[in-house]
Chains A and B, each alone.
Chain A
Amino acid sequence: MGSHSHSNRRWFLMGGASLVSYVMGAVRSMRGQTRAPEARAKDEFAYGTPSPFDNTVRRTLGQLTAVTDTALTTPLQDLDGIITPSGLHFLMDHVKGWPDIDPKQHRLLIHGMVDRPVTYTMDELKRLPSVSRIYFLECNANNRPIRGANGESVQNVHGRMSCSEWTGVLLSVLLNECGVQKEASWIVAEGSDANKYTMSIPLAKAMDDILVAYSQNGEPVRPQQGYPVRLIVPGWEAIRSVKWLSRIKVVDQPYMAWHESGNNADTIPGGKGLWYRFETGPNSVITRPSGGQRLPGRGFYEITGLAWTGGGAVTKVEISIDGGRSYKEAELQQPVHRYSHTRFRFPWTWNGEEAVLQSRCTDERGEVQPTLAEAAKNLGVEPDYFYQADHFNGVQPWKVNRDGSVQNALLL
């Protein structure tokens, strides 16, 4: 798992208040005070909770695009490895709140262009052959270069993505049980939230690797993540991974439901709309040091971050400490999983001068993460097109100033 030193990350603290509480906490924890069992919350016995000294590792409210949205972002700057703790998984829904579903009442219906329509109870789903796979989920609106007043931190800009070990049944197993008819070419997946959120997905992907997941990081999928069962569509923008899954209809065309057309289509100059952005592009971001943090002084630091791609496995991550003029290869945490977060690490000694740190991802297809300028040039738009657009996967530069402060340098 690499030689990551736990103490290094403690220097990348966000703001003075956190630093003070950290120091006070350190003093107290060195005394090793043990609270009496009766002084602890009951649930700490039944279900462990983080240290009270780590109470800043929390999700924060993301910028909303409508009052009916719910958005919570993952504190990527505080996390290690590749797995996002379930309670810190991002949340982005176009509906207020989330449903509480009784699994005993829940039924998954599969019908449409199949020989044998079927309904499954949760117990029946769990009796079928299962697989466990590590997959990232990324909101299609992640990485927007501008995220409002607090857009400087990696949590605000990139925090709409997380990575978990998902367990469930391959959708292909369920579809084969039903006997998909040969004219079928798409599925329509529907959730049981207030909006009955709906998405169309090509049948070829459904028969390939889509997971009907009831478990996340070893325990039941959290209600915010789709309890009791959800789709996981590996490598594709997370809007397709329908939560609270209750119905799959096998069909012969995309249905263009609200959240896959009007609400999620992008436009380009010239008046055309863009559809069918399925796979995410090769992407990466340095999570430490990152925007809003402060280096306490010159010397050794480990640069670390995450890379991911809808193209499969990340094969290379390069780090630049001079704003992209030169790159050197980072170490990738092994094993690298396909459609998973990939942790990278890079040793760096800061000489106290200004530096611009950025990372660049290459995947198994040889696809390379572009800079903002390159992405704009290739799409034929001005860079400001991406300021509020979705589906952006550009290189993220962080500038280290002489005083040790780190800021978002994408638009500097």
Chain B
Amino acid sequence: MRYCCSLFGVTAVVTLAACVAASAQGRTYQLGSAPGEEEIKARDIAISPDGKELPPGSGTAKEGAAVFAQKCASCHGREGNGGVTRGIVPLGNAKPVKLPVSLVPYATTVWDFINRAMPQSKPGSLTPDEVYAATAYVLFRNEVIKETDVLDATTLPKVRMPNRDNFLPAQPGWKPGQKRPFGYYP
């Protein structure tokens, strides 16, 4: 500081000091590095129920049928009823007491998993348009949307899954850490 003699220099040092103070606030160990916006954007693939992370693009069930035939049918079966692995109808897996059609609460859940994990031979390789189309095909086959419905970042989160309101906490009102009545575990 003592080397700063011009008015400009003093201002610069004060500003720099303020920045250091701000970034150090709460950061005790000064380890790690700040990621760039691009890195965050590229890795930020989890889709919330309100769909705010969804990328631009769109697709219909009709387009999705072509995507399915090309990239999904070899495992899920030509008709989507199961092949090497489980089918796409109904959504969710086989449980002792099945809900009609679906155990999935949000359409974003379907988009997210197709986008991150499918096809198994090359996960993450589908374009956004292909993911929208494949999601539309799966939802159409489960009678959730119509064949001509266009799914995009605006319409997908608005799709109402059939069992959206049919989920309960294991014990209504219970919160982690609280004692539970006998036999209600978990």
Interface hit among A118-126, A220-228, A314-322: A118-126
- Give B23-49 interface residues, CB cut-off 8 Å to A: 23, 25-29, 31-35, 39-40, 43-49
- Interface pair B183/A262, CB less than 8 Å apart: no
Kindly identify which residue among A194, A249, A255, A262 contacts B103, using a CB–CB cutoff of 8 Å: A262
Q: Please name the residue on chain B nearest to A266 by beta carbon.
A: B95
Instruction: Check if A131 is an interface residue, CB within 8 A of chain B.
Output: no
Interface assignment of B84: CB less than 8 Å from any CB of chain A: yes
Q: Could you say which residues of chain A place their CB within 8 Å of the CB of B33?
A: 118-119
Chain A, 309-337, CB within 8 A of any chain B CB? 310-311
Q: Complex formed: what's the CA distance from A115 to B27 in Å?
A: 10
Query: A51 on the interface (CB 8 Å rule)?
Result: no
Q: Would you give the 0/1 interface string for A127-140, flagging 1 where the beta carbon is closer than 8 Å to chain B?
A: 11100000000000
Residue in A closest to B123 when the chains form the complex, CB atoms = A194
Are B35 and A204 within 8 A (Cβ)?
Answer: no
Q: Flag whether B182 is at the interface (Cβ < 8 A).
A: yes
> Does chain A have a CB within 8 A of B130?
no
| C-alpha spacing A279/B29, complex, angstroms | 32
Produce 1/0 per residue, B83-124, CB < 8 A to A.
011100001110111111011111011101100110010011
B56 within 8 A of A: no
A147 within 8 A of B: no
Given A127-B31, A188-B46, A255-B48, CB of A261 within 8 Å of CB of B103: yes
A117, A194, A202, A310: the one within 8 Å of B34 (CB): A117
Residues on B with beta carbons closer than 8 Å to the beta carbon of A262: 91-93, 102-104, 109
Residue A387 lies at the interface, judged by CB distance under 8 Å to chain B: yes
Cα–Cα distance between A279 and B177 once the two chains are bound (Å) = 8
Query: Per-position contact with B for A279-295: 1 when CB-CB < 8 Å, else 0?
Result: 11110000000000000
Main secondary structure of the interface of B (DSSP, over half): loop
Number of residues on chain B facing chain A (CB within 8 A): 63
Check if A68 is an interface residue, CB within 8 A of chain B. yes
Assess A119 versus B39: contact at CB under 8 Å? Given A66-B85, A198-B46, A262-B109: yes
Inter-chain contact B102/A196, CB cutoff 8 Å: no
B163 at the interface (CB under 8 A from A): yes
Minimum distance in angstroms from A36 CB to a CB of chain B:
48
Chain B residue with Cβ nearest A365:
B179
Q: Which of B43, B96, B179 contacts A387 (CB 8 A)?
A: B96
For residue B8, CB closer than 8 A to chain A, the reply is no
- B29 close to A128 (CB less than 8 A): yes
Q: Report B-chain residues with C-beta under 8 Å of the C-beta of A21.
A: none
Distance to closest chain A CB from B167 (angstroms)? 4
B104 near A261: Cβ-Cβ < 8 Å: yes
Find out whether the CB atom of B85 lies under 8 angstroms from the CB atom of A280. no
| Chain B contacts for A115, CB-based, 8 A | 26
Residue in A188, A276, A281, A384 whose beta carbon sits within 8 Å of that of B185 in the complex? A281
Name the 6 nearest CB pairs between A and B, nearest first.
Answer: A281-B185, A378-B183, A258-B113, A370-B183, A118-B32, A262-B92
**6 chain-A/chain-B pairs, Cβ below 8 angstroms:** A179-B26, A196-B124, A267-B103, A275-B168, A391-B186, A393-B185
- Known pairs A96-B120, A109-B39. 15 more at Cβ < 8 A? A68-B120, A120-B32, A179-B25, A196-B116, A198-B116, A256-B109, A261-B103, A265-B92, A265-B103, A271-B97, A271-B163, A273-B168, A282-B185, A310-B185, A377-B183
